[in-house]
Chain A
Amino acid sequence: MHVVDAIPRIRHRTFDALELDCGRTLSPVTIEYETYGKLNAAKDNAILLLHALSGSAHAAFTNDRGEHGWWEDFIGPGRALDTDRYFVICSNVLGGCSGSSGPGSVDPTTGRPYGLNFPVITVGDMVRAQKHLVAHLGIETLLSVIGGSLGGMQALQWAVDYPNLVQSIVVLAAAKRLSAQAIAFNEVGRQAIMSDPHWCQGDYYGRTPPDAGLALARMIGHITYLSEEAMHEKFGRALKQTNSYHYSFSEDFEVASYLHYKGNKFVERFDANSYLYITKAMDYFDLPDLSSIKAKLLIISFSSDWLFPPVQQRALVRSLRRRNKDVTYCEVQSWRGHDAFLLEVESLTELISGFLDNVSR
């Protein structure tokens, strides 16, 4: 009987207007979302799951187009987010390019895609849009808000902005503000896109998109998602085809070929302007005041994550503890770098299922 409920339901929710932190109003606003499991009669078993920079609403299962859910090993009957017990909602972020309003959406005032006319958004705006969605679903309290990286930032923002709605949050590989190093990488990624002659000030819709720039941005990003050890484990100095060097600037090494592959795959599904807007929202993320939080918190870091290193999570936990918040912290031992939040299934399942079990009691 649960199999039917487990099939993702893809939906859109469009609402009239959203006031943004930049002072502008976006109208209309569409949020694409998927849900897994069933909302109970008391409507108290809902979990909001939030994706990272390049994610989408498609978190669980492999869909009919063969696309894997970005957290599919964690969602389903008996898994960390047990769909026999919980109702899981995952939405595409505002500014994204997988169904939610973003720079590629049509501007109703011109009838053409927004491009750079799309307002600059923040993590706070993303969360406010999700709040509309949650209210639309008739949910008054969220059992938990869970996310990694940018998703973890959104989870923190949820706990700060809507303390009475959020019973608990799980923050993976994120911090209370984006570090200078991460801003630097974002800036280089954006410059890669904006230097592409096809970018045309963001007005490339219907023409050749800035694929080379976006692929380069993704390659840079990928380096920051892996650890030195992960690269060594996966590729080492392995050569792509032959056992000898080409003595040319072709892709001699496996690691180079992998990055090119990742970059080229990425441009098939992602919009360069969305990359600009979402990374900029990450840059602006800074939560100096955590005092409003009422949620129970589980903060998780990964030992080899150098994009959001454990020292940042410990700083977050310290400020929460100083304010006497109910915060649990665990540093998961992993060689997989920042991407560990997508890959360390066993240890994360143990932590998250144990945590949710107690929150839902």
Chain B
Amino acid sequence: MQRYDQDIIAGLIPAGSRVLDLGCGNGDLLLKLKRGGVTDVRGVEINDRCIAACVRKGLTVFHGDIDEGLSDYDDGSFDYIVLNQTLQVVHKPTLVINEMLRVGNRAIVSFPNFGHFKIRWHLLSKGQMPKADFLPRDWYDTPNIHLSTISDFEVFCGMRHIMIERIIGLRSCETGKTAKYFQNLLSQVGIFVIKSKREI
């Protein structure tokens, strides 16, 4: 299956960048980056089977829990830290985002957008925990514990003096179409490029 979220993220990262992908899964994004000329890529992943899959792809990965922070890494040791569709499953989102902005010059964060109109309509019409094709699991069966909307994440960044460089609203992971307007209503996935304001 084509992963447009990965294509978009890969397109945001210039060749020659040092990249760390948190929750890199089977390493598909890292491999895409590598093949696209971004050679200094590393991943962190909690699942040992995924680690083995990454090793088979020739990727450099660390078996660990990103909720424990990135204390092993020095400040600014990467150009980009990626957290693709993982924010909603971490236990400590604030810690993870802060650590990303400490260790990386920029962070790219993507997550399923709970502000999407289908989600809103599901809750309004049925009065039940929303499900959609991009959020298919039942409330009792989901790893997602920190769901948010594009608007929520903008507020989160604003409160923490995090600079938002760019927001991309992905209307569909399958078609790759993006939303120019009403991003919070129309996007299934929000992709943020953020940066710490401390350098300014």
Contacts and interface: CB of A to CB of B under 8 A. Distances in A.
A328 B48 contact: no
Contacts of B54: 328
A80 B59 CA distance: 18
18 contacts: A317-B72, A318-B72, A328-B55, A328-B59, A328-B61, A328-B62, A329-B62, A330-B48, A330-B51, A330-B55, A330-B63, A332-B48, A333-B48, A354-B57, A355-B55, A357-B58, A358-B56, A361-B58
A351 B55 contact: yes
Contact of B55 (A314, A317, A331, A354): A354
A347 B56 CA distance: 12
A67 interface: no
Interface residues of A, number: 23
Contacts of B52: 330, 347, 350-351, 354
Interface in B144-184: none
Contacts of B48: 330-333, 347
A357 B48 CA distance: 19
Contacts of A327: 60, 62
Nearest to A357: B56
Contacts of B60: 296, 326-328
Interface residues of B, number: 17
A322 B58 contact: no
Nearest to B71: A318
Contacts of A322: 72, 74
A321 interface: yes
B64 interface: yes
Contacts of A357: 56, 58
A212 interface: no
Nearest to B77: A324
Nearest to B74: A322
Contacts of B117: none
A329 B64 contact: yes
A298 interface: yes
B137 to A, nearest CB: 25
A329 B55 CA distance: 10
Contacts of B55: 298, 328, 330, 350-351, 354-355, 358
A358 B58 contact: yes
A331 B61 CA distance: 12
Contacts of B59: 328
A73 B73 CA distance: 37
Nearest to A348: B52
A305 to B, nearest CB: 14
A303 B48 CA distance: 11
Interface in B30-79: 48, 51-52, 54-64, 72-74
B58 A321 contact: no
A121 B194 CA distance: 55
A181 to B, nearest CB: 23
